[in-house]
Amino acid sequence: MKRIAIVGPIPRDHIITHTGDQIQKWGCVTHPVIALSAMAGKKIEIIPVSHLRAVDKDNVKEVFKGYSGINTKHLTTKNDQGDIISLRFVDMNNRLERQTGFMDPIMPEDMKALLDCKVFVFIPISDYEISLDTLKFLKKKSKGIIIFDAHGPTTACLSSGERQRKFWIDRDQWLPYIDVLKMNLEEAQASWFKKEYETNDFAMSEDPNREELRKFAMHCLDRGVKCVCITVDSRGCLVYRKERGKFKEDLVPAIKVSQVIDTTGCGDSFAGGVGFGLLHKPNDYVAAARYGNALGALRTQGKTFAVFKSQAETDEIIRQGFIKSS
C-alpha cells in the first residue's frame, strides 16, 4: 500500500468568514488528510505528522476517527506545543491573522520511520515550523517526492502575535531539497525579490506578472526544483517544469463554483491534491494540479469536512470543470 505523509501544524482555528459566520475547527493538516481519506482511504495510507499540545491530542484524533486509511501514530506531544490561530476574513481571499500558540518545529527524527513514503506534503503556515535539516534528511535517506508550500517561509509571527507576510530571503538554501514548490501569487512575490528597493516598490499586485513569474520559476528549476505550482485564485494554477530539458508553462483552469462559503484550508487542500496526483503519476504535474484545483474548490463549499468527495466523484468534477450546487 502506498503511503503519503502530510506534515505541518494542526492549529486550533477560530475563523470569522467574509460573510460574518464564526467557525471553530482544527485546520491545516486536517484538510488534506481527510480529503485524501474521502478519496482513497481504503487504498492508501495517509500519515499526518504534527506536534500538538497534550490537551489537544485526543480531540485531534477524534476529528480523524471514522475516516479510513489515516495513521495517527505520528501526532506527538513531546514538548506540549501546538498552533492556535485566529483568522478574520476581509474578503474571500484576504484575512487578518493572529497567532497565540506555537508548534515546535518538525525535525529529522520525526521522519525516521516514514522514509518509505512515496510522497511528503509539507504545509507549514509559519517560517519556523519545518526545519531545513528535515528536508535535507529526506533528500538523503528517502526516494519520496517532497512537496513544499511556501506559505510557511513567507509568513512571520511577530511578538505581538500578529502574522505578517515576509520575504523568503534564504530561499536558495531550500530549493535543492524541494521537488514541487507550491505557493499562491502573494507568496510568489515574496519569494522573488529585488536586490534593492525604493520605498514605493513594496506593494503587492493582485494581477500576475507572467514574465516575472517565469523568471522566478526558471530560477527555481535551475536549482533543483522539478515543478513550481503557483495558484492564481479563480483563474487556476500556473504549472512550470522542464520536459526534455525545455521550459514548459501551463495554466490549469480552476474548477468553477457558484458560491464560496469558507476558503480556510484551500491552499492546504490544494497541496494534498497535488500529492495525491503524484502518488499515482509521479511525473504528471499538470494532472496533479488538476487534483489540487479540485480539492481546493471542494474546500470552499462548506464549513465541515463533508465537502470532500470520493475519487470517482472528484474525477468527474475535474472532467466537468465545475462543482454543481447542492
One DSSP character per residue, 247-288 reads: EEEEEEEPPB-S--S--TTHHHHHHHHHHHHHHHSTT-HHHH
Nearest partner of 9 among 103, 134, 128, judged by Cα: 103
Residue 165 grid cell: 507576510
- Of the pLDDT bands very low, low, confident and very high (cuts 50, 70, 90), residue 307 is very high
Segment 211-238 mean pLDDT: 97
Q: pLDDT value at position 222?
A: 98
Segment 290-307 mean pLDDT: 96
Indicate whether 150 pLDDT > 70: yes
Indicate whether 193 pLDDT > 80: yes
Residue 179 grid cell: 521537488
Asked whether the whole model's pTM tops 0.85, one would answer: yes
| DSSP labels, 82-137 | --EEEEEESSSS-EEEEEEE-PPPB-GGGGGGGTT-SEEEE--SSTTSB-HHHHHH
**Angle value at C-alpha 107, between 104 and 113, nearest 5 degrees:** 125
Segment 243-267 mean pLDDT: 95
Residue 113 grid cell: 520511520
Is residue 167 within 8 Å of 44, Cβ to Cβ? no
Indicate whether 224 pLDDT > 90: yes
Q: Give the whole-number percent of the chain exceeding pLDDT 90.
A: 85
- Report pLDDT digits (tens) over 65-121: 999 999 999 999 999 999 999 989 888 878 889 999 999 999 999 999 999 999 999
- Of the pLDDT bands very low, low, confident and very high (cuts 50, 70, 90), residue 258 is very high
Q: Name the least confident of 56-70, 189-203, 308-322.
A: 189-203
For residues 22 and 187, the model is more confident at 187
Distance (Å, whole) CA 112 – CA 138: 9
As a whole number of Å, the end-to-end CA separation of the chain is 34
Which sign does the torsion angle of CA 171, 135, 98, 33 carry?
positive
CATH superfamily name and code, 2-194+207-316? Ribokinase (3.40.1190.20)
Distance (Å, whole) CA 130 – CA 124: 7
Q: What average pLDDT is seen over the chain?
A: 95
In the chain, what's the furthest Cα-to-Cα distance?
55
Q: pLDDT value at position 170?
A: 98
Q: pLDDT value at position 206?
A: 77
Q: pLDDT value at position 326?
A: 63
